[in-house]
Amino acid sequence: MDFTSGAVDEVAGLSFGMDFTESALPPIQFSVDRSSRGRTGSAVRAEADCSPAQAHADVFESAFDGNNTQDLDGDGVSCADNAGYALSLTESSQSDTLDALDRDPCRTVDLNCDGAPDQTIYLTLAPGSPTLALLGATPADILASGADFVPSVWAAGAANLGLRAGDVIDALCLFEDGDGVYGQSDRLLFSLARGSPTLAQLAAGPADLLVPAPPRVAVPAASLGLESADNIDALACTQAVTRLDLYLPIISRR
């Protein structure tokens, strides 16, 4: 928090650095923003058609088959025959919005479950977050942070990921190979927020999932049961993603 201006950081993308590893969870889980509708027949569309719309407080899963199903529900109250496990969020005309997602930290980065991570976490920050100015970073940079050290830039959006000025990474899957340095053995899948210049360059949308350097679409929105105008703003991935022949290219420094 900036105590002078009162501005606070807002986490946009989040990963514990252990995506693409074995898990009993679905291959890919995601959430969407308030204006997302989903394709006809999808669980996202069913939740978006509730009154009020509820998709943005829920978690969905997909097997890249052109559809999606609900996994977790904001308040656990059935809507349109969906009744996922409750997240204790509010779903009303002023609904909560879920915009970051990962596995249980008590099984990954906070093994003693005291609320202070024992391992590095990776995140991106929304525009206007004061820590970005302190670090000289941007919303396209991936930061590394932990309980015992100040945040630092782990992967620079422009220099490492091939992103453009004005891009915002707002959903993130990441595997860190253990050396703490962005490089060839790390894996990354992400989405960009609405209005990000790279989306226009690629003729892509904010529900398409990208790989970097140079950025390109790896998972089109339609394969997840989403429309091109939808926006994925939270993301988690398991090893099953790679078993579905998702091409994650070798990442190298520039």
Rounded CA gap, 234 and 138, in Å?
19
Residue 78 contacts by C-beta under 8 Å, 6 or more apart in sequence?
Answer: none
In this prediction the pTM is: 0.88
CA 252 → CA 81, 162, 187, distances in Å? Answer: 46, 11, 10
Please provide the distance, in angstroms rounded to a whole number, between the alpha carbons at the two ends of the chain. 33
In the chain, where are the structural domains located?
11-243
User: Which pLDDT tens digits describe the chain residue by residue (254 residues)?
Assistant: 444 566 789 999 999 999 988 777 778 999 999 999 999 999 999 989 988 888 888 899 998 889 999 888 877 677 766 666 777 777 776 778 888 888 888 888 888 898 888 899 999 999 999 999 999 999 999 999 987 778 999 999 999 999 999 999 999 999 999 898 998 889 999 999 999 999 999 999 999 999 998 999 999 999 999 999 999 999 999 876 655 444 444 444 33
Pairwise CA distance, residues 199 & 215, whole Å: 9
Structure tokens at 113: 């479950």
Determine the Cα–Cα distance for residues 124 and 13; give it in Å rounded to an integer: 5
For the chain, what is the mean pLDDT?
86
- 73: closest CA among 104, 44, 40? 44
Element (H, E) at 72: strand 69-73
